Amino acid sequence: MKKLIFNLGYYTFFGVLLSAFFVYATQAQKIYKMPGSHGYRVFHLLDSALKKTDEVQYLDLSEQKGVVLPEGLQKCKNLVVLDLYNTELTALPDVVEQLKNLEEINLSKNPQLDLKDAFIKLSKLPYLHKIHLAHNQLTSLPSEIALLKQLDVLNLYNNQLTDLPVSLANLKALKEIYLQNNYLKTIPFSITNIKNLTVLDLYKNQIQEVPSNIGRLKFLRILNLHQNALAKFSKEIYGLKDLEELYLGYNPRLNYEEVLAGLAQLPHLRVLNLTNNQIKLLPMEVGLMLNLQELYLQKNQLTSLPEELSLLRNLHVLSVAKNRFKKLPRRFGKLVNLRVLNLSKNPQLEYTQVFDVLSDLDGLQKLDLSGNNLQYLSGQIVFLQGLQDLDLRNNHLKSLSPKIALLTNLRKLDLYQNNLSSLPKRIHSLHNLVELSLGKNQLPKTEQTKIKTWFPNALVSFQ
């Protein structure tokens, strides 16, 4: 990864998720994306920028090691974003103090940079509200960070921090802090004193306990504790009434029956990730999470789901991959707004029952049945008329029912690694198909040639 300018996409979370859902490492784990241009024209060369100083709003000098910022840069009065990622800085150039309209600066991957000096200089910039300090090998953060009074986003991804300065609590405007991949064993006291915080990302640290003072963060909307060492979970978290997204994957030591019963008290919870937690039983209280839109339960030890799950009428995305199911709840079809369902790697599923239940989900758009030892595909799949993406990889299918041709909205069909020697001729009526994967089957060359003629505008792969 070249660089990180963190920008949470929780306003467009569903569209992003649909495009990446079937990779088990979901958006739940690392909440960031590569930098965009913010709608500005991006200048990559100093010479070009200095010739058009009035037009420069975004200057990207990343990876230009040893770059020298001339005094003439202060003429760029409209400069808003300055990217100095991996430029081997040891001291922040004095000219940066003159960039009075600067709002965002990326100083990531400059491990020799004198941050105390940099913070003092940056404190002269009245509109600076976002700073990136990722990949800087930081073992501590200078207390001078508190001088950046307007800061609302602080990115400290992938450092070596074990604590944060008490002075951080003086950043009253701070709303988002990203601390993924550090060495924190507790949630620093200074963080729980930042009362306006809305996003706290602590992915992949060593945190063992959610402290009671977490309850001070009354405006917290997103809390990422994925891949820590949690053993205690303070009840005060159930008082965070604005919490919308909670990521608790890879924390198997928690008592999830107790935790889930408590989380049912959060009225606005939309996203809950519980990946790989050795969960054996979901309590019926999960049915009280009425605003839940995404639920990730993959890689657990569930043998059943509670009937109360059917009460989650707002649920859009459900992943129960890699569990031990045999059946789905008989009321599962009540999840009328479900759009994405991952049932992969549950080889004990009784598919006669499963398809009977799923037949009511005519709004389902994406279904993953990969890795399930499927011998045949039930003709009841025809009732999933909204289906656009069907994943049947790594099964034992020897043939397909011609009824699959009635799934006229299908755009992607993955049949990789089955035992198919032919496809039904009627499948050529899938006019919306744009991607068909048939690698590692038993299709003779003549059949492959015929299939290609059926889908001249689709990407058809036999590899």
Q: How many CB atoms lie within 10 A of CB 314?
A: 16
Q: Using CA atoms, how far apart are residues 82 and 62, in angstroms rounded to an integer? A: 9
- E strand intervals along 49-198: 58-60, 81-83, 104-106, 130-132, 153-155, 176-178
Q: Are 105 and 122 in contact (CB under 8 A)?
A: yes
Which residue is it, tokens 């994957």? Answer: 249
Which residue is it, tokens 């920028």? Answer: 49
pLDDT score for 62: 96
Local structure of 166: helix, strand or coil: helix
Q: Using CA atoms, how far apart are residues 154 and 455, in angstroms rounded to an integer? A: 49
CA angle 52-130-227, nearest 5°? 135
Residue 166 gets the label, from left (phi > 0), alpha (psi -120 to 50) or beta, of: alpha
Name which of 13, 3, 4, 62 is nearest 32 in CA terms.
4
Please report, in tens digits, the pLDDT of each residue of the chain (463 residues total).
344 444 433 333 333 333 333 344 344 444 444 456 678 999 999 999 999 999 999 999 999 999 999 999 999 999 999 999 999 999 999 999 999 999 999 999 999 999 999 999 999 999 999 999 999 999 999 999 999 999 999 999 999 999 999 999 999 999 999 999 999 999 999 999 999 999 999 999 999 999 999 999 999 999 999 999 999 999 999 999 999 999 999 999 999 999 999 999 999 999 999 999 999 999 999 999 999 999 999 999 999 999 999 999 999 999 999 999 999 999 999 999 999 999 999 999 998 999 999 999 999 999 999 999 999 999 899 999 999 999 999 999 999 999 999 999 999 999 999 999 999 999 999 999 999 999 999 999 999 999 999 999 999 999 9
pLDDT score for 37: 62
Burial of 446 (0-12, 13-18, 19+ CB in 10 A): exposed
> Which residue type does 130 have?
K
Q: Using CA atoms, how far apart are residues 349 and 34, in angstroms rounded to an integer? A: 39
Q: Using CA atoms, how far apart are residues 214 and 368, in angstroms rounded to an integer? A: 37
Structure tokens at 457: 């505008």
Confirm whether pTM is higher than 0.85: yes
- Beta strands 459-461 and 435-437 are parallel
Q: Using CA atoms, how far apart are residues 82 and 73, in angstroms rounded to an integer? A: 11
Structure tokens at 228: 């820590």
The sign of the CA dihedral 408, 410, 411, 416 is: negative
Backbone φ and ψ of 149, nearest 5°: -60, -25
Query: Within 13 Å, how many C-alpha atoms sit on residue 418's CB side?
Result: 29
Three-class SS string for 209-236?
EECHHHHHCCCCCEEECCCCCCCEECHH
CA angle 403-392-449, nearest 5°? 70
pLDDT score for 35: 54
Q: How many CB atoms lie within 10 A of CB 413?
A: 25
Which residue is it, tokens 């930081």? Answer: 138
pLDDT score for 30: 47
Domains of the chain: 1-183 (3.80.10.10), 389-463 (3.80.10.10)
Which residue is it, tokens 């792969």? Answer: 461
Residues 6+ apart with CB under 8 A from 445: none
